[in-house]
A and B are shown apart, each in its own frame.
Chain A
């Protein structure tokens, strides 16, 4: 049998593993209980980084599905999953912008208020 093993195959299998219950459980344990993910604790390889990214991505979208924030269809198709992830990131950016804008407005109003209080003219007791 001719044994082919290439980059695309590695990526495909890595995704499969990241979606598996075994690795999702291990990922959850490592996040919450400091469970060791790999034999090496530091100096991670590229494939280990890629795998952690995939695990984290899968964990996030599974959580969102469980919370009912998105259709469970995203677990069946990578195009759906990455589209949802993109939308989520954009929404987060927009919300962040809004919050920053609100903060700026609040700051400027409080500045005005300070200016106002600064000009208070306290009457001295007669």
Chain B
């Protein structure tokens, strides 16, 4: 067989394809059970659905944190933060209204496009409707990012972040010998762990397993 050298682009393409295939297999594994496992630095980790007692602990921690935040003067609730932004010239309520109206426009086009798809003479306008919806989606995403950027420092948003990272700490376990133990001894150990790759993976898996547990 002739020994051909692959170009850089071909190697990159092949690597991307392998990566995609690996991700697809991994996604398949993520749905088979409610316990997600993976290996990191030769240690086996798992993320599990929280037990009742862990849910109670999470609620208690979040309530305490909320009280601390309300009593402290670092974080503002969304309503007050909106006023501060308004004073700086950014009207978030207006942005939200704009988003609502864009959503209505999108639904209008979706309805027309959906109807068209059920008719025999549908072909002509399909692409134009699709482009309009795509355009609206882009505008909605831009607005959502803008609003999120303004409000992610709010008390509610920070409380949600705290709740989520606390949940990740609570439901992460690692295998030592034949036993499963908490992946981190304390929440502080989890937060201060120096390898972001492990923390990111545990957080991603936590969101796949139980993001509904954190409600502010």
Total interface residues on B, CB under 8 Å, equals: 40
Contact of A46 among B15, B26, B201, B207 (CB under 8 A): B207
Contact of B30 among A1, A10, A77 (CB under 8 A): A10
Q: Chain B interface mostly helix, strand, loop or mixed?
A: helix
**B24 with A17: CB separation less than 8 A:** yes
**B118 with A69: CB separation less than 8 A:** yes
Q: List the A side residues contacting B110 at CB < 8 Å.
A: 82-83, 86-87
**A47 with B111: CB separation less than 8 A:** no
Once bound together, how far apart are the Cα atoms of A17 and B26, in whole Å?
A: 11
Once bound together, how far apart are the Cα atoms of A45 and B30, in whole Å?
A: 10
Contact of B211 among A1, A5, A46 (CB under 8 A): A46
Q: Chain A interface mostly helix, strand, loop or mixed?
A: helix
Once bound together, how far apart are the Cα atoms of A13 and B19, in whole Å?
A: 12
- Convert B73-112 into 0s and 1s, putting 1 for each residue whose CB lies closer than 8 angstroms to a CB of A: 0000000000000000000000000000000000101110
User: How many A residues touch the partner, as a band?
Assistant: 35 or more
Contacts from B to A (Cβ < 8 Å): 15, 18-19, 22-24, 26-28, 30-36, 49, 107, 109-111, 113-115, 117-118, 122, 126, 129-130, 133-134, 201, 204, 207-212
User: Would you list 7 pairs from A and B whose C-beta atoms are within 8 A, ordered by A residue?
Assistant: A10-B27, A38-B33, A39-B32, A45-B34, A85-B114, A86-B114, A90-B111
